[in-house]
Amino acid sequence: MGSFLIRRLAQGIVTVVLASILVFFVMRLIPGDPALLLVGTDASAEDIEQVRERLGLNEPLVQQYFNWLAGAVRGDFGPSFTKGTEVSNLMRVALVPSAELAVAGYLFALAFGIPLGIVAGLKPGGPGDYAATGFTMFTLGIPNFVLGIILIWVLAVLLGWLPITGRVGIDEDPVEALKFLVMPMIAVGAGTAAVLARFVRASIMETLNQDYVRTARAKGLRERSVVMRHGMRNALIPVITVAALQIGFLISGAVIVEVVFARPGFGSLLIGGVVGRDYQLIQGMLVVLVTVFVVVNTLADVAYGLADPRIRVG
């Protein structure tokens, strides 16, 4: 287990470093002078030169990368070119609404997707299975932002049950905050719920075909305990990895949903950066998101390794 952990950790670090190199140099390939962005087009040549000097833009590119990386490791991503403050401050402010949405969406996906998959897997061809298949098919075809807009149209505009867009902090008014959270939560989590439902269904069907399940039935156990003790437990172990791997996709999927619901999170910040060509902001955010993504995926692998010893060898 120890060497498996170390190997997986090393892989994760290599990925993050490679990604940071990729992000940094791609951003530098883009035409336009960052200093000019920061001071505005009507600044004098000396002002621009001064800013270039201060930002370290006159140093060799490789040196710039290491300077930036050294800052990034300590949580300093430099000043934003368009928002007049540090990138790290912007990200700190955006973190809470984004985390809120990601957690809510993920809980929704687990609470909806897994039971749906179980119902479908226990009685393939039954009504529950048809409902699950219909749901997965539709949800895997619909972009999450379109689902969000349809929810807004029906639940907020036509029926008036929920507020349309915006956010109230969960610490300010929990009930009101949940009302704002319901629709974006479903939009973010539905895709993951579909993936989970499909996977759980397949896993349960496969498990119930195993020899040990037949043995359990043959020795006269009640169906209920066959399913619960022998079927379910074994069927749900591989679900851990799939569920964990989905967290990364869920976070990146939340980007556009946040924009639809005008929630002030990472997504809105990133897209603001893209529209304003704020390279410093984009590259800082990308590295943070990539790191989160890689950490989550690494944990998923490790969790699977813990649950199923056979994996550690590979």
Footprint of another protein on this chain (CB under 8 A)?
11, 14-15, 18-19, 22-23, 26-27, 30, 137-138, 140-143, 145-146, 149-150, 152-153, 157, 164, 248-249, 251-253, 255-256, 259-260, 270-271, 273-275, 277, 279, 282, 285-286, 289-290, 293-294, 297
Residue 56, token pair as written in the block:
């370290």
Q: Of 147 and 227, which CB lies nearer to another protein in the complex structure?
A: 147
Least distance CB 303 / another protein (angstroms): 17
Least distance CB 293 / another protein (angstroms): 5
Q: Of 132 and 255, which CB lies nearer to another protein in the complex structure?
A: 255
Least distance CB 112 / another protein (angstroms): 20
Residue 263: helix, strand or coil by DSSP? Answer: coil
Q: Of 5 and 170, which CB lies nearer to another protein in the complex structure?
A: 5
Least distance CB 224 / another protein (angstroms): 32
Q: Of 72 and 290, which CB lies nearer to another protein in the complex structure?
A: 290
Residue 82: helix, strand or coil by DSSP? Answer: coil
CA distance 275 to 142: 25
Least distance CB 155 / another protein (angstroms): 12
Q: Of 111 and 157, which CB lies nearer to another protein in the complex structure?
A: 157
CA distance 105 to 254: 9
Least distance CB 227 / another protein (angstroms): 26
Q: How far is CA 46 from CA 51, 52, 55, 71, in A?
A: 9, 10, 14, 26
Q: Of 170 and 182, which CB lies nearer to another protein in the complex structure?
A: 182
Least distance CB 171 / another protein (angstroms): 28
* Residue 267, C-beta contacts closer than 8 angstroms, at least 6 positions apart: 98, 254, 255, 256, 257, 258, 259
Q: Classify residue 220 by burial, with Cβ atoms within 10 Å: 0-12, 13-18, 19+.
A: exposed
CA distance 314 to 16: 22
The H-or-E segment that residue 116 falls in is helix 87-122
86 beta partners: 79
Owner of token pair 């305990």:
225
CB 197 within 8 A of CB 136: yes
Q: Of 28 and 217, which CB lies nearer to another protein in the complex structure?
A: 28
Handedness of CA 290, 293, 299, 305 (dihedral sign): negative
